[in-house]
Structure 1
Amino acid sequence: MTATTMTPAQLARFEGRLRAERADAEERLAEFDGVMSEVRTARSDASADDEHDPEGPTMTQEWSQRTAVLADVRAELADVERALGRIADGS
């Protein structure tokens, strides 16, 4: 269904959902940015021997996982922004 075949009420509901999704993605992005800063700081500690810690994942694993999640959130946010742009320009 294109914007031209949607009723104004349907389009408004869809836009509202997109705005809510954008707010959620922005919140997750801020949260993960903070966590990434913590992991970055921990990884820069030369005395940390995370590769031999039997208690949990290594900092390298944490970094990889969180980097992937952060990239997903950024991609989701970009998709939402493009969709909102299409609503705004009527396409």
Structure 2
Amino acid sequence: MPDVPTFKELGYPQLSKAGWFGVWSRPDAPVEIQQKLRDVTLAFFQQPDVQKRIRALGMEPGGAMTSEELTADLQEAYQKQAALLKSINYRPQ
């Protein structure tokens, strides 16, 4: 959508992530199951036709994170969004 400005162009550089995909399991799932789920998911997203479809949607395929990296990334995003909402005095309706 070339005529639609980005959040950064609109003056909101804090809103940098447009979207992403995640796959979760129960926290008490065996490590072997968690690893198999991760391996299968990574293999799926690394297929050339899947990557082509992602790009056709205007997105860029990214890398994968470990559970620990995802947890840290989500915590950081939560803190940034909370600070942003507080800075504009956002109040849920």
TM-score, structure 2 as length reference: 0.38
More helix by share: 1
Larger Rg: 1
Which of 1 and 2 has higher RCO (CA within 8 Å, sep 6+)? 1
TM-score, structure 1 as length reference: 0.38
